[in-house]
Amino acid sequence: MGAFKRRALAGEGLYVAIRDGEVYVHMQKPGDQTRLYAALMLLHRAVTRFPADDHHHFPPHLEFVLGHTDLPLGGPAMAWCRPAGDTLTWMYPDFSYYDWPEIGMPPYSAIRRRTGAVTSGLPFAARSNKLFWRGGSHRHVPSVVRKALLGKLERRADIADVKRIPPFEEIYANASAAAATFTALWDFCRHKYIIYTEGNSWSARLKFHLLCGSVLVSHPRSWDTPETLLMQEGRNVVSVRDNQWSDVEEVYWMLELNPPLAQHIADENRKFFHLLTPDGISCYILELLKCYAEAMTTDAPPAGGGASGTAGGGTSSKRPPPPPPLPDTSTLMHLEAFVLSKMVNVPRFGTGGV
């Protein structure tokens, strides 16, 4: 943890210290988006979901680092995703489970509510039967798999409705011109077959697609998320052979000519709507923190200093060297105070000693 903590304290990510059930944070540089603030709001919602002294649900002592970019820091830090096969990175629910205003969409709870309104009035059998995709393929998301998808299906109006969307700065500058290609996340649910593509790493839209109760069609995925660990091939997703989408038409006709199979997959994915609730995400975070705390090689001390912990280190018959001391919590801010301090010009004094 020491190296990750130093990186976070220097400005690379978010450092969270939990002492006696109270949450303290340090964030030197938030990055160029609201991601880490949204992650903090998810944490705040989770830790206030149960009484602060209920340690059965919430570990009393813990510290961790969460990176802010699309790519994980590597090792026993927390991240939005991890490479397939990685067993060290701990996966935190991504920021859009709270809100991602940069994409021009409402908060997650509102998206979920609007998704429910669409799907409740549009059964799977009545939805459009074309492969549907909208996404970025430009300098911000130089994804080879997205370019291959566009090359394969952009002109195949007989089986697909696939279009690229411009970068968001262009959408903000000329919203009316972008309206022809921009589709609200809940309107994806009007389609039977939704194509999922990874971006710079994972794509945060995956959860929104699963909420639809449609069939997910994907390329072979390279990144794991909390959602992909629950997905099964042929049950929740149908994957094409390769990243060139070489057999995507075969996959399409396999689904079209087998309505019971497509309906079964859609029904399985519909279960995600009842799983990925705000309370469900809070429960995941609480369980994540409990497991992370259990994996720490040393216990974090009570407020005021002591020994540091490292997750993923295991146990040893030899006495480990003394870990580096933690910063006194008086130099950190309570989560609530930190978030409020960003709204107005509040001096950023530590509140850990109060």
Residue range(s) occupied by CATH 3.40.50.2000 in the chain: 122-276
Nearest Cα neighbor of 336 from 12, 76, 24 is 24
- Element housing 6 (H / E): helix 2-9
Distance of CA 88 to the CA centre of its chain: 17
Average of per-residue pLDDT values in the chain = 84
pLDDT for 20 equals 78
pLDDT cut 90: percent of the chain above it:
55
Quick one: pLDDT band at residue 27, thresholds 50, 70, 90? confident
Quick one: pLDDT band at residue 270, thresholds 50, 70, 90? very high
pLDDT for 307 equals 41
Nearest Cα neighbor of 29 from 12, 51, 45 is 12
| Mean pLDDT within 246-273 | 98
Residues constituting the chain: 354
Distance CA 2, CA 8 (A): 10
Quick one: pLDDT band at residue 328, thresholds 50, 70, 90? low
Distance of CA 234 to the CA centre of its chain: 23
Quick one: pLDDT band at residue 300, thresholds 50, 70, 90? very low
pLDDT for 354 equals 43
Quick one: pLDDT band at residue 351, thresholds 50, 70, 90? very low
Distance CA 56, CA 351 (A): 26
Which CATH number applies to 122-276?
3.40.50.2000
Query: pLDDT per residue over 41-72, tens digit each?
Result: 999 999 888 655 655 666 777 889 998 889 99
